[in-house]
Amino acid sequence: MKSSFLALLVSIVTSAAQAGIYLEPYIGYDSSTSKGEITITAPAQAVYDADAEEAGAQFGAKIGYATGSWIFGVDFLTGELVDKEDNEATHMNTGVFATHRFNNVFSATLGYIAASSIKRDDLEVTGSGFRVGLSTQVHARMKINLDYLMTNYDKLDNEGSEGKSDIDTSSIVLSLGFPVQF
């Protein structure tokens, strides 16, 4: 009984000693495929095809709390996406995440994207989604991250018009992260 209590005490102290603030700025490349449509209801009725393949540089940061093998926090991602016709759009995601570190080399992340937006000219679509990712530590201060994002854009903000959007986007983001824990 005494040895069990001692083992529990040691594991609690060891876990608390590894706890701290986690910060991981990252930079990467996003490749996205969108399917859906945008419907304008006023001032005139119109339906636009929103199918697109876009790609571009992305950067962001994860900020959170790390304890033991778990990290919990907030994730922010932004960047420019360009489609095949050279149309540019600004992309932003904000959400929460949980990461489990399996060992000193590999980790897996699950996240909820609470707010996502894509803005092109005067048209902006917003929505939410999910993120799943795998990471490998290649250096003490560098990780390679591979994330899959699934987002549904169901709100439309267009100056002078009313309408809705129904766009499903799948994205793969390959990034280099630079984690720091203190």
Domain for residue 82, yes or no?
yes
Does 95 have pLDDT greater than 50?
yes
Does 11 have pLDDT greater than 60?
no
- DSSP assignments along 123-177, one per residue: EEEEEEEEEEEEEEEEETTEEEEEEEEEEEEEEEEETTBEEEEEEEEEEEEEEEE
Domain for residue 47, yes or no?
yes
Query: Looking at residue 5, what is its pLDDT?
Result: 54
Q: Which residue has the tokens 């009725």?
A: 45
- 36: domain CATH number? 2.40.160.20
Query: Looking at residue 72, what is its pLDDT?
Result: 98
Domain for residue 166, yes or no?
yes
Query: Looking at residue 9, what is its pLDDT?
Result: 45
Domain for residue 88, yes or no?
yes
Contact present, 130 and 114 (Cβ < 8 Å):
no
Query: Looking at residue 78, what is its pLDDT?
Result: 97
Domain total for the chain? 1
- The pLDDT tens digits for 114-129 are 999 999 888 899 999 9
For residue 131, give its domain range: 20-181
Pairing of strands 123-139, 142-158: antiparallel
- The pLDDT tens digits for 101-156 are 998 899 999 999 999 999 988 889 999 999 999 999 999 899 999 999 999 999 99
- The pLDDT tens digits for 39-76 are 988 887 888 888 999 999 999 999 999 999 999 999 99
pTM for the whole structure: 0.85
Domain for residue 87, yes or no?
yes
Domain for residue 3, yes or no?
no
Domain for residue 58, yes or no?
yes
Confidence of residue 18 (pLDDT cuts 50, 70, 90): low
Q: How many angstroms separate the CA atoms of 106 and 99, rounded? A: 10
Query: Looking at residue 126, what is its pLDDT?
Result: 95
Query: Looking at residue 29, what is its pLDDT?
Result: 98
Other beta carbons within 10 Å of 111: 22
Query: Looking at residue 121, what is its pLDDT?
Result: 82
Query: Looking at residue 159, what is its pLDDT?
Result: 77
